Structure 1
Amino acid sequence: MDRELACLRVTAVVIGRKSQGDPRVSQRKPKVLVTGADGFIGSHLVEALVRDGYDVRAFVCYNSLGSWGWLDNPASDVVNAFEVVSGDIRDPHGVANAMKGCDIVLHLAALIAIPFSYHSPDSYVATNVTGTLNVLQAARQLGTSRVVCTSTSETYGTAQFVPITEEHPVNAQSPYAATKVAADQLALSFYHSFETPVAVLRPFNTYGPRQSARAVIPTIIGQIAAGKREIMLGALSPTRDFTFVRDTARGFIQAMNCDAALGRATNIGSGFEISIADTVDLIAEAMGVDVQVSQDPERIRPSGSEVERLFAGTAVAEKIFNWSPEFGGRDGFVRGLRETAEWFQDPANLKAYKTDRYNI
């Protein structure tokens, strides 16, 4: 099948199934559920979907404060333009109810902090593995037209060759990574066993405004924005392929509309590899300051658990759903860092972070 036709077919099928007898309905876009919509990537994805004209339901983690996470204060152009449902990804009944009436599910809900997975691995199994199973079971029962599950570059472990293609062996080096490998395999098993229309998207090190302080870029920027000139970090030699959050959000939207993405894991990344030490230098330059780095032993991963090198091969995404990074290469990374730093330097945003402590 022609690539472009393959990538458009899911929209035509979904719309056609709902549009019998009313030509006006045939023009509508599918209804999309985003799990983990209250988080960093999820909130950006909700905004991108709304701007693209999708009917969006945001599944957020229930809490007694009634908070929707980052969706409490979305971009001004999407306020009141999406539905919010609170629940718990670990609860199969709540997940199934949230998915009713939705054509597509973009499943992002997960525990992601690697250090906390050393502390509480059981919670990662319950959230990342059982939570994904709940989505898959509901999709099978409801006849959901498309599910995209979120993977991570951490599933590959330290690169055995670069760029890391989808053929690279998986090698989980942390309990977090192990649960994501398990979730990926569950998703693909439902495709093979039950023909559940599942795709797995594997972003490399997403960064940008709203990212949690457990990640290295907000850790660096947050400390500088708070006035510190001696930055506390962990390992400085590992390299990463950092992907700007709007590129990641666009990857989800393009993957969900592509039949050729079904039954496989597909990488997205920036095509640029940089060490943590050099990332500090670029951030300091972007923020117009000089900094020194001190290594904090508490922030060092166990030696066998540190992923030393990640560098994405994205040829498959480029081929099957025409994705490429708008913030690619060194220049794109610098642009993304400047936008991220500008967001964190806004006092209204910075006050949400505890920059004086190590966040696991």
Structure 2
Amino acid sequence: MEKILITGLNGFVAKHFLDYLEDNHIRAQVLGIDIQPACMYNGFKYIDFHYACIDLLQQKEIEKILFQFQPEYVLHLASYSSVAFSWKNPILSFQNNVNIFLNLVEVVREYSLKTRILSIGSSEEYGNVNEADIPLKETAGLNPLSPYAVARVSQEMLSSLYAKSYNQDIVMTRSFNHIGPGQSDVFVVSSFVRRILEAKMSGMKELQLPVGNIDIIRDFLDVRDVVSAYYKLLHKGKKGEIYNVCSGCAVRLSEIIMFISEALDIRVIPSVDDALVRPNDNMLIVGDNSKLCNDTDWHPHYCLKNSISDIIEYWKIKLN
């Protein structure tokens, strides 16, 4: 059984990663860690699962758990991944992205652990780009435009440094926008679905929906495709390399609203609320996933409308 340590176990992506292991009958010994005192997951058939409450800002706690478990793989998901949160709490955002990663790699280095780390980054690292550069390849320049994006660039630079200077086995991602069932309504698509569905369930035929800038274009990838990419990168990604994890498809936020409106048969009239407009937002982010596909034989399986349909079903259950 392979031994996998997952940080940020109680987050959106980790749950789907565990589902991926189970659904594909992958026998693994998994240790999930998170700052939350309790874990909601149990009853696995193929996974030998354990959980530990760990504060990754406390290096001594990390030393103990890594030395005891000796993981073959670390899927480092722990982060404060909201751009909006990072504008309001830049110090916390930086500490809970860069500092926790540095603590982790330092322990792996100090104890010479034979561990592969998948360091999760973000498409936000690219910043505003020229349309001529779309779709973005991993060789594109970085221009972070939020505290969160700066933190992710810093984490990536540390990853590259430790891979080159200490020969640590680290693979890096620049992961584009995730969507899927179970995502918090802090994030834009899940928020749209929840608010529009609530209006529909209350009997409304038309909704005035407060929004930020819905002209921005994003590359959305279903979280179930994201976790399959992460598993393949843990096993087939090249040490020290960076991979875009993305769909390669461009969609405006206004189109997302239209898809939800059609699915729920309710008229939605977007209304810009200045309070929801970020100080500095990337207008266009679409990635090239050819490197990921070529190196790992990964391909996405979920289309955008499938994802939105499943998010709607999730919120129907959640709101009842």
Q: Fold conserved (TM > 0.5)?
A: yes
Using the alignment, how far apart are the partners of 1:36 and 1:154 within structure 2? 20
Residue 255 of structure 1 corresponds to which residue in structure 2? 233
Which one of 4, 7, 16 corresponds to residue 44 of structure 1?
16
Residue 162 of structure 2 corresponds to which residue in structure 1? 190
The one-letter amino acid paired with 1:315 is S
Using the alignment, how far apart are the partners of 2:102 and 2:41 within structure 1? 30
Which one of 85, 99, 116 corresponds to residue 85 of structure 2?
116
Residue 9 of structure 1 corresponds to which residue in structure 2? none
Shift of 1:78: 5.9
Using the alignment, how far apart are the partners of 1:286 and 1:97 within structure 2? 50
Shift of 1:287: 2.4
> Deviations 1:50-97 (Å, cap 9, x if unpaired)?
4422211111113xxx333xxx157x6569852111111211122232
Using the alignment, how far apart are the partners of 2:9 and 2:124 within structure 1? 21
Residue 178 of structure 1 corresponds to which residue in structure 2? 150
Contact between 1:209 and 1:339, CA under 8 Å: does it hold in 2? yes
Residue 322 of structure 1 corresponds to which residue in structure 2? 297
Residue 173 of structure 2 corresponds to which residue in structure 1? 201
The yes-or-no answer on 1:56 pairing with 2:27 is: no
Contact between 1:150 and 1:202, CA under 8 Å: does it hold in 2? yes
Contact between 1:222 and 1:344, CA under 8 Å: does it hold in 2? yes
Shift of 1:46: 2.5
Using the alignment, how far apart are the partners of 1:274 and 1:56 within structure 2? 36
Secondary structure (helix, strand or coil) at the match of 2:4 reads strand
Residue 224 of structure 1 corresponds to which residue in structure 2? 196
Shift of 1:289: 2.2
Which one of 197, 200, 211 corresponds to residue 233 of structure 1?
211
Residue 66 of structure 2 corresponds to which residue in structure 1? 99
Contact between 1:34 and 1:46, CA under 8 Å: does it hold in 2? no
Using the alignment, how far apart are the partners of 2:210 and 2:65 within structure 1? 41
Using the alignment, how far apart are the partners of 2:41 and 2:196 within structure 1? 24
Moved more, 151-160 or 221-230: 221-230
Shift of 1:175: 0.4
Change in CA separation of 1:171 and 1:82 when aligned onto 2, cut-off 3 Å: same
Q: State the Cα RMSD in Å.
A: 1.8
Using the alignment, how far apart are the partners of 1:157 and 1:78 within structure 2? 42
Runs of 4+ deviating beyond 6 Å: none
Secondary structure (helix, strand or coil) at the match of 1:231 reads strand
Residue 83 of structure 1 corresponds to which residue in structure 2? 50
Question: What runs of 5+ residues in structure 1 fail to find an aligned partner?
Answer: 1-27, 352-360
Residue 344 of structure 1 corresponds to which residue in structure 2? 315
Using the alignment, how far apart are the partners of 1:276 and 1:315 within structure 2? 24
Shift of 1:183: 0.4
> Deviations 1:126-169 (Å, cap 9, x if unpaired)?
11111110111122133132000100110011233100100111
Contact between 1:47 and 1:78, CA under 8 Å: does it hold in 2? no
Secondary structure (helix, strand or coil) at the match of 1:291 reads strand
Contact between 1:106 and 1:148, CA under 8 Å: does it hold in 2? yes
> Deviations 1:312-357 (Å, cap 9, x if unpaired)?
1001001111111112xxxx111111111111111xx237xxxxxx
Normalization by structure 2: what TM-score? 0.91
Using the alignment, how far apart are the partners of 1:80 and 1:231 within structure 2? 43
Question: What runs of 5+ residues in structure 2 fail to find an aligned partner?
Answer: 201-206
The one-letter amino acid paired with 2:76 is H
Using the alignment, how far apart are the partners of 1:350 and 1:164 within structure 2? 38
Q: What count of residue pairs does the alignment treat as equivalent?
A: 307
Which one of 123, 126, 131 corresponds to residue 156 of structure 1?
126
Residue 13 of structure 1 corresponds to which residue in structure 2? none
The one-letter amino acid paired with 2:261 is A
Using the alignment, how far apart are the partners of 2:29 and 2:10 within structure 1? 17
Change in CA separation of 1:134 and 1:78 when aligned onto 2, cut-off 3 Å: farther
Using the alignment, how far apart are the partners of 2:50 and 2:233 within structure 1? 22
The one-letter amino acid paired with 1:148 is L
Normalization by structure 1: what TM-score? 0.81
